[in-house]
Amino acid sequence: MRVLYAFSLALTITGCTVSNPLYVADDLSSSGNDDMPAGSDLSTVGDQDLSSVEVDFATQIPDLRKSDLKGADLAFTADLKPASDMATDCGLPGQKCCAGSTCAAGGCCQNAGCVAAGQMCTDPVVASVCQAGTCTTCGITGTECCTNHSCTAGCCGAANTCVTVALSCGGTLGTCNVDGSCGNCGGNGNMCCAGSPLNVCTSSGTVCASSAGNAGTCSTCGGPNQPCCDGNSCNDGGCCVSGTCHKNGDSCGATKCMNGSCQAGACGGVGQPCCGGQCTAPNTTCPGGGAQQCVVCGGNGQKCCWDWRVSQYIWCASPYKASSSTGSCLCGP
């Protein structure tokens, strides 16, 4: 700033005439600038009387365009917030991957975007599910079951593994049948197989539509007016409202469902306000209390997802387990 003041003072003293090497002719007669009062007395600057100042024009005014400003006092302080104060915009489902191609809580990084634990990855070559941070081949014999207990053939047996027809489903589940049931349970329309902490189904695209105190019945899930699948999920961007799926673009009760969120996309999704105390997108849950936002659930270290069948925070994506069936339930190894 001292350099600029010296420059301004030099121009005032010299009158900025042709003899001044920085002089540029200009016609101010039509500038329309009414800010300078008529008859301004420029013989003084502040309290200094410049009327008797003598200037040696033999000394050329320095060309400030070539000046070294390394030591100049520019009196400028950038208003930058520390990185710790900036909102995190990576790592959650639907967000970009964080540094090192990582996602939070066992999520998977694919095509630079994060996929939630337990949800399908988008590999165009082979079916894969996000498991513990890695997109793992699913649906074929000996591999992890895909979402909603799905296998290309056979059954989703014990330990969430696909089993070939006529072979044991593992544990006490019996033999795998053509319809996807294991023994006399787990198929669409059959009673649910005993499981912990939730009873389970073994045929593709089904969920155990049970309630506390009874075994429940396996039912196709995810479609319009069908039960929500595991992890609060519905097919094709549908919304899970009070345990029932609403089609994407259709009514969400009193409002419209849009890509998993109600109120035309304004509530129920990750980071959005809860819709009347509940969340409607896959792998989301409302932590409770007033004015809450929907959070991601079911992954490692995350809150357990709400399960409408038993009205508890209890569901976790494989291979994670629920720590309890209370509101403080967390998912972990």
Q: Is residue 88 in some structural domain? A: no
d(CA 50, CA 333): 82
Taking CA 247 as the corner, what is the angle to CA 123 and CA 125, rounded to the nearest 5 degrees? 10
Q: Is residue 317 in some structural domain? A: yes
pLDDT for position 232: 92
d(CA 146, CA 331): 19
pLDDT tens readout for residues 267-322: 999 889 999 889 999 999 998 755 689 999 998 898 899 888 888 888 888 888 88
pLDDT at 53 over 60: no
Q: What percent of the chain has pLDDT over 70?
A: 70
pLDDT for position 42: 40
Q: Is residue 44 in some structural domain? A: no
38 to 12, 33, 35, 185: CA distances (angstroms): 17, 11, 9, 99
d(CA 163, CA 168): 7
- Asked if 159 and 169 touch (Cβ cutoff 8 Å), the reply is no
User: Parallel, antiparallel, or unpaired for β 244-246 and 284-285?
Assistant: unpaired
Token code pair at residue 100: 């090192």
Question: Which of 224, 180, 184, 182 lies closest to 205, judged by CA?
Answer: 180
Burial of 165 (0-12, 13-18, 19+ CB in 10 A): middle
Question: Which of 311, 312, 309, 310 lies closest to 324, judged by CA?
Answer: 312
Give the pLDDT band (50/70/90) at residue 214. Answer: low
pLDDT for position 19: 43
pLDDT for position 327: 64
Q: Report the run of H or E that residue 239 belongs to, with start and end.
A: strand 239-241
Token code pair at residue 313: 């925070």
Q: Report the run of H or E that residue 218 belongs to, with start and end.
A: strand 217-220
Q: Is residue 323 in some structural domain? A: yes
pLDDT at 6 over 80: no
Position with higher pLDDT, 280 vs 10:
280
pLDDT at 68 over 90: no
Q: Is residue 147 in some structural domain? A: no
* Mean pLDDT along residues 185-205: 89
Range with the largest mean pLDDT of 34-48, 123-137, 247-261, 302-316: 247-261
pLDDT at 40 over 50: no
Q: Is residue 246 in some structural domain? A: yes
* Mean pLDDT along residues 91-107: 86
Taking CA 245 as the corner, what is the angle to CA 244 and CA 249, rounded to the nearest 5 degrees? 140
pLDDT at 4 over 90: no
Sign of CA dihedral 145, 150, 154, 156: positive
User: Parallel, antiparallel, or unpaired for β 134-137 and 128-131?
Assistant: antiparallel
Q: Is residue 270 in some structural domain? A: yes
Q: Is residue 135 in some structural domain? A: no
Q: Secondary structure of the chain: what % helix, strand, coil (to 5)? A: 10, 25, 65
Give the pLDDT band (50/70/90) at residue 133. Answer: confident
pLDDT for position 55: 46
Domain assignment of residue 282, given as a range: 221-333
pLDDT for position 291: 60
228 to 86, 173, 231, 235: CA distances (angstroms): 35, 24, 8, 9
Burial 244-254 (b: 16+ CB within 10 A, else e): bbbbbeeebbe
Number of structural domains (the chain) is: 1
